[in-house]
Amino acid sequence: MIKKFKTIGLLGLALMANQWVFSQNDAFKTPNIKDEMTVDSDQNKKWRTGQYKYSAKPKNMWELGIHAGHFMVDGDVDPKQPAGFGVGLHLRKAVNYIFSLRLDAMYGKAKGLDPQPSDPAVIRLDNPTAANIITGNRYFRNYQITYMYGSVQMIANIGNLLFHKERNKWNAYAFIGLGLNNNKTMLDLLDGSGKPYDFSSVNTNDVNTKAGRKQIKKDVKAILDGNYETEAFKKVAIFRFSDKTNIHPEFQGGIGVSRKFGKRFNLGLEHQVSIADNDLLDSHRYRTVEDQSNDTDIAHYTNLRFAFNIGNFDKKTEPLYWLNPIDAAMNDIAELKQRPKFDLTDTDGDGVIDMLDQEKNTEKGAPVDTKGVALDSDKDGLQDYKDDEPYSPPGFRIDEKGVAVIPKNLTEPEVNKIIDDKLNAKGGVGMSNISGDWWLPMIHFDLDKYYVKPEFYGQLHHVATVMKKYPNTNIVVTGNTDVRLPSTYNRILSWERANAAVEYLMSKYSFPRERFIIQYAGEESPLIPGLADSHSIAKNKEMQQYLNRRVEFRVANSGDSEMARPDGKAGSNSPQSSRGGNKYSGNPNSGY
């Protein structure tokens, strides 16, 4: 039988070693927990995109284990060493990263033999049923107990809260539990012929020395036949579920340490004590005929536990007590450290930070576009801040100051004809409607607003200057929004923004309404695509949303037509805030 157990044990170790070899690559690395591997996939998806502060709890496996070890009773009689054995099963499930519940069951046997002789009168008090059996002037107490329990245990794990590495190989834990036990204690009182033992030949003079006690036990064992034939007395007047079954409630406590061997297996060593209101586990409670011991007997179980994680790793993680609960936070912190620092430095003071500025040494005071490049409105090769005529009519040679050189001997109609001929040759529409290649500025708006901000009055003055210089030119005014809020709402808001710009130009510069063509694009034509539909975003992302909230101006073509106002209300025509979240304002000289 022993050989069979050894063979089974060796096979189990071989299987565990095989699993350990194939799982080392990822056993101690952070697991890839997909959204569907959590109890709330929607919450986890929002957490990954920054829309929720907490990740969802991962679905994790059950642990099934077997255990075996040394079982003994600490009572009035010395336990043999080794006293006995215990075997059992457990099933464990994590409640969270620290606490887990375990169903545990054990079956064990243990023996005890006292080297100190006892008065037969004491034995008769301990076991009234043996009153007619015990004779002579001394007796050596002995017993054999069969013990089993079933319990529910709460385990507190302290080995997986890690600040300095990804995963743990070792776990330390403590536990408490409540359960029911059943025990049956037998005594060896009679020899093979059914007669009481005669211990008169046993020398007990050296009972106070270790060597003497060892010799006494050896001599007593030589007399005993090892057949525990007499059932011990069961304690009365205590709570138990049945007098016949001898089932008692018990309290358990213990500590342990476990070592992981791959993602599937772990091996643990733990010590457990079991306490019940029962001083008869070893069948004895009296020290003398007038003195009863004050302490109940305590069962000790020191055992090895081999545990196996049950489940599919594509659907569940290891039990949570093997995962680091702060791993996600540490990963996020590391990722943030790797990102480039958001530097707001603007070296040339043009209103565009160096991170976005494509021309970092622009002349001070020079108007720039949204990329920080000095403007050349008439595209004559001379920037506006150097150009004495920033809006030179196209088609003429310019001098070193950027002024168009127009022959003085030509009349105005002749000049217009020359320009029309050149534009028509390039596919243009003549002076009656200046080239659509002209750059006209755009203006931007606060979140959910359509009032015209004072810092964009300069850009609108630019538009008015062109319209005054070319009175036959009409302008298309197109409103845009960012991606947040419903698309129907954003179409209304984009129309309101275009209309607000038109009304400002009409009231400030007295242009007729017929010179403007209002169009709107809602959220469908962003300058910066792919932004999140969220108000809880980083400041640099909010700045990009700001660039999408705009009104654009361009020279009208023959096919352009007015878009009717969509039904409904949207936005606010006041500077007061209507929503929380980050806001970004541009620079009046930056074009955004």
**Lookup: tokens for 262:** 């791959």
Q: List own/partner pairs for 390-396 with CB under 8 A and 24 or more apart.
A: 391/465, 391/466, 391/469, 393/419, 394/419, 394/422, 394/423, 394/434, 394/435, 395/419, 395/422, 395/423
d(CA 155, CA 252): 11
Give SS3 for 410: coil
Amino acid identity for residue 292 in this structure: Q
Give SS3 for 443: strand
d(CA 434, CA 500): 24
Q: Which of 90, 84, 85 is nearest to 105 (CA)?
A: 90
Question: Could you count the other beta carbons within 10 Å of the beta carbon of residue 465?
Answer: 14
Segments in the chain below pLDDT 70 = 1-30, 129-132, 136, 162-164, 235-244, 286-294, 407-412, 414-438, 576-592
Q: Which of 500, 482, 522 is nearest to 574 (CA)?
A: 500
Question: What is the predicted pLDDT for the residue at 366?
Answer: 83
User: CA-based Rg of the chain, rounded to a whole angstrom?
Assistant: 46
- Name 261's bridge partners: 265
d(CA 384, CA 366): 7
Amino acid identity for residue 405 in this structure: V
Q: Is 251 exposed, middle or buried (0-12, 13-18, 19+ CB in 10 A)?
A: middle
**Lookup: tokens for 560:** 């352009």
List pLDDT tens digits, range 265-280: 999 999 999 998 888 8
Helix, strand, coil percentages, rounded to 5, for the chain: 25, 25, 50
Q: Per-residue DSSP letters for 454-506?
A: GGGHHHHHHHHHHHHH-TT--EEEEEE--S-S-HHHHHHHHHHHHHHHHHHHH
Q: What structural domains does the chain harbor?
A: 31-57 (no CATH), 61-335 (2.40.160.20), 344-555 (3.30.1330.60)
Question: Could you count the other beta carbons within 10 Å of the beta carbon of residue 263?
Answer: 22
Question: What is the predicted pLDDT for the residue at 60?
Answer: 93
d(CA 43, CA 57): 10
Question: What is the predicted pLDDT for the residue at 1?
Answer: 44
pTM of the full predicted structure?
0.55
Question: What is the predicted pLDDT for the residue at 429?
Answer: 41
List pLDDT tens digits, range 463-504: 999 999 999 999 999 999 999 999 999 999 999 999 999 999
**Lookup: tokens for 84:** 């006995």
